[in-house]
Structure 1
Amino acid sequence: MYESQANRRRVSRSWCKAAFAGLALAALAGCSSLGANGPATKTITRANAQAIDNSQIQIIEVTDTVARRVLAAHRTSLFSQAFGDAPLAGTVIGPGDVLEVTIWEAPPAVLFGATSSLSSGSTSTVLTAPGMSQSNAIPSMMVRDDGTIQVPFAGAIDVVGRSPRQVENAIRSRLSRKAHDPQVAVRIASNSSSTVTVVGEVNQSTRVSLTPKGERLLDVIASAGGVKQPVDKTTIQVSRGGEVAVLPLAAVISDPSQNIRLAPSDVVTALYQPFSFIALGQTGQSAEIPFESTGLTLAQALGRVGGLKDDRADVRGAFIFRLEDPAALDPAMAATARRTPDGRVPVIYRVDMSNPATFFVAQSFPIQDDDVLYVSRAPLADLQRFVSIVASMAFPVLNVGRQIN
């Protein structure tokens, strides 16, 4: 009887050991399917053997030199550098401008006396001297397509490219032998040739006339009713001739030198650009994170997602996935790298957060719109998970063995 019970105990222990070993082997075999939210560090570092859109992926370690090169490549041209202050517009008359002309004649009036009057089709206002009658007419005239205006008794006067004072002298010269000491005043009532066009995310798209005051960028934006979207999510594009430059509106407001004086025919466009990057893996938050048009550094990006998970993140496995501008790459790499159809290079920037110097580099490395920030799982975290799974499966088996005993 006692021998039979001892045999049963030996069989039970053998079964438990075999069951435990089987469970361990099964868990080990299924280790690759324990669950993950992205590739491991060693998998990503071998990604340069793969291609995206026929372009080979480049793996780049983030260093101070790399950060400086990327920052320089993505730095936008300042308005002060691209355009500078335009000269004052002055009061030069152009095609389409509307003028007001006033003429006085000293008594005794000879040409513009009490019996003189202008037809309804006239485009000037004529006043006689004090004490004499006034002749009413249309108070304004538009510069014709041939660059002239028609003044009674003076004929066609060339005005395009001239200042109002020069036009006054030209009219006075024409009338000097016909009228008695004529006096002339010319005023630009509406300036159509020296304007700036404001469009985009403004409250009212409009054309703003430039004056001798010298309207600046923020002046014309204010004339259009201001921008519709928040300042930190709005960028301003200025087009002059064949050159285009873009800056965040917040940068223009904070830096007076970017509030440039505008030139005739400039086009100002307000653009709503909600930039964002995506955080994945072992970060404090997996989400799409918006950021301001003024830009974001890697250090700020890590701060916004809550940093790295202490118990799971691989501090040597932080990566930034980006379709990069070749100008941001080492010249030797850029010369040989295959590019996507739109001329960019698929790049994975590797960030070693175990290196203290990296925290200084991260303060200048720029995050771009549509970047993917990914932090892989630490290898030890997978081992810990494996041990937890094996333990959770083994304890029930051991309890069964104890009950059998």
Structure 2
Amino acid sequence: MASLTGCNSLGASGPTARAIREVRPENARVKVIEVNDTVVRTILATQADHSFARIFGVAQERHGLIGPGATLDISVWESPPAVLFPSASALLLPGASSTGTGTSFQGQVVNAEGVVTVPFVGRVRALGRSPEDVATEIAARLSSKAHDPQVSVRIADNQADGVIVAGDVQSSRRIPLTTKNERLLDVLTGAGGVRQPVDKVLIQVTRGTTVASRPLGAIIRDPGENISLFNDDVVTALYQPFSFQAMGAVAANTEVNFEGTGITLAQALARVGGLQDSRADVKGVFVFRLEDSQALPQDLRDGSLVTAEGKIPVVYRIDMSNPATFFVMQKFPMHDKDILYVSNAPLVDLQKFVGLVSQIAFSVGGIANSVP
């Protein structure tokens, strides 16, 4: 029995529930939070704050302004008797053609100065103006030369106004934006779609200095997340399988992948086979997480450890001896890289000790009986 005097542990898969609840002074900056309905509501509200709709807002309709390098199709008609433009096709201008009293100048590119050149009109500033505005100016400047001119200007190509789609898509490319107000799923479709399963893809949108990401499945499920895009936005599809690690007194100690749309704590426990009846402490279910600071009240943020990414290490404790906890577990969201840990019940160590003492006692008795 003297050999047991120095033993501090009989073997375990991790700390006890008491050891986690009674955090040592040197580790007091790691917060232990009892999970209840209020805590879950705060976490869910923080997730809603990360939505694309809230971060980027609702885009205003594009008015089809002419950008640098845009290609314009310009058409001019004269009322009979037409005296000016029937001969325009003889001007040998690129894209010029004449049909009766109408003449079309196709593929006119806005130059570096933001202007286009129109026969009998000269230089017309187009950059930053609507096609209707440019058409009105051209008609006004032709009124003294042509017979009742009518002018139409159409943007044939506005490559300067577009978004970049990159990452795990079929074809990374720049996609032009039009007056249709292309949305996130429109440009992903234009790039051929994603190459990985939808539930394993994260979509990142970069607009200026603002960067945000959402699971593709959540964007498909919620039309509000399918935001309209701005010029020079960058959309990146990232292959990111989400996972959590299960440890301790659960049926399976393993890493479990889950879909990007997320799962709850109740689902997570079910996927690892639940608690081990013979070992688990129902009051000792914990989720270790690097949490967004916004998900914590100010008094818990004060004095907490903060990672370089602005995350705070916290331990969420779930008391499964309380029946109401099972309803809370159905709403508590699991995050990527969470650790789900279930401690041993206090009696387990006692049982181990009794078993060890019994083995020693039987061994000593067996030796004594074998000695004549």
Taking structure 2 as the reference length, what is the TM-score of the superposition? 0.87
Q: Which residue of 2 aligns with 1:92?
A: 65
Deviations 1:246-276 (A, max 9, x none): 3221112112232233343333222222222
2:46 is equivalent to residue 73 of structure 1: yes
Structure 1 letter corresponding to 2:43: V
Deviation at 1:243, TM superposition (A): 4.1
Deviations 1:360-390 (A, max 9, x none): 2222222222222211222222222233333
Contact kept? 1:196, 1:208, Cα under 8 Å: yes
Q: Which residue of 2 aligns with 1:191?
A: 158
Alignment of structure 1 residues 137-216 onto 2, 5 Å: 139-216=106-183
Give 2:264's match in structure 1, choosing from 291, 297, 304.
297
Q: Which residue of 2 aligns with 1:61?
A: 34
Q: Which runs of 5+ in 1 are unaligned?
A: 1-23
Q: Work out the CA distance in 1 between the residues paired with 2:333 and 2:368.
A: 60
2:207 is equivalent to residue 233 of structure 1: no
Deviation at 1:108, TM superposition (A): 5.4
Deviation at 1:199, TM superposition (A): 2.2
Contact kept? 2:88, 2:97, Cα under 8 Å: no
SS in 2 for 1:301: helix
Q: Give the direction of change, closer, same or farther, for the CA distance of 1:115–1:76 in structure 2 (3 Å limit).
A: closer
Deviations 1:262-297 (A, max 9, x none): 343333222222222211111111112222222232
Give 1:260's match in structure 2, choosing from 227, 231, 243.
227
Q: Which residue of 2 aligns with 1:49?
A: 25
2:334 is equivalent to residue 364 of structure 1: no
Give 2:84's match in structure 1, choosing from 91, 96, 111.
111
Deviation at 1:67, TM superposition (A): 2.7
Give aligned-pair identity as a percent. 50
Q: Give the direction of change, closer, same or farther, for the CA distance of 1:318–1:124 in structure 2 (3 Å limit).
A: same
Contact kept? 2:49, 2:55, Cα under 8 Å: no
Q: Give the direction of change, closer, same or farther, for the CA distance of 1:48–1:70 in structure 2 (3 Å limit).
A: farther
Give 2:12's match in structure 1, choosing from 28, 32, 36.
36
Number of residue-to-residue matches in the alignment: 372
Q: Work out the CA distance in 2 between the residues paired with 1:76 and 1:233.
A: 22
Q: Which residue of 2 aligns with 1:127?
A: 98
Q: Give the direction of change, closer, same or farther, for the CA distance of 1:173–1:339 in structure 2 (3 Å limit).
A: closer
Contact kept? 2:86, 2:98, Cα under 8 Å: no
SS in 2 for 1:318: strand
Q: Give the direction of change, closer, same or farther, for the CA distance of 1:216–1:337 in structure 2 (3 Å limit).
A: closer
Contact kept? 2:206, 2:233, Cα under 8 Å: yes
Deviation at 1:84, TM superposition (A): 4.3
SS in 1 for 2:91: coil
Q: Which residue of 2 aligns with 1:318?
A: 285
Deviations 1:69-108 (A, max 9, x none): 3333344433333344423324322221101223345565
Deviation at 1:113, TM superposition (A): 4.9
Contact kept? 2:89, 2:96, Cα under 8 Å: no
Q: Give the direction of change, closer, same or farther, for the CA distance of 1:149–1:30 in structure 2 (3 Å limit).
A: same
Q: Which residue of 2 aligns with 1:248?
A: 215
Q: Which residue of 2 aligns with 1:11?
A: none
Q: Give the direction of change, closer, same or farther, for the CA distance of 1:344–1:92 in structure 2 (3 Å limit).
A: closer
Deviation at 1:141, TM superposition (A): 1.6
Q: Work out the CA distance in 2 between the residues paired with 1:129 and 1:247.
A: 56
Q: Which runs of 5+ in 2 are unaligned?
A: none
Q: Which residue of 1 aligns with 2:311?
A: 344
Q: Considering only aligned residues, what root-mean-square deviation do their CA atoms show, in Å?
A: 3.0
SS in 2 for 1:354: coil
Q: Which residue of 2 aligns with 1:7?
A: none
Q: Work out the CA distance in 2 between the residues paired with 1:85 and 1:345.
A: 31
Q: Work out the CA distance in 2 between the residues paired with 1:229 and 1:30.
A: 55
2:234 is equivalent to residue 270 of structure 1: no
SS in 2 for 1:366: coil
Q: Work out the CA distance in 2 between the residues paired with 1:65 and 1:324.
A: 16
Q: Which residue of 1 aligns with 2:356?
A: 389
Deviations 1:153-173 (A, max 9, x none): 110012223332332332222
Taking structure 1 as the reference length, what is the TM-score of the superposition? 0.81
Bigger shift: residues 143-152 or 194-203: 194-203
SS in 1 for 2:152: strand
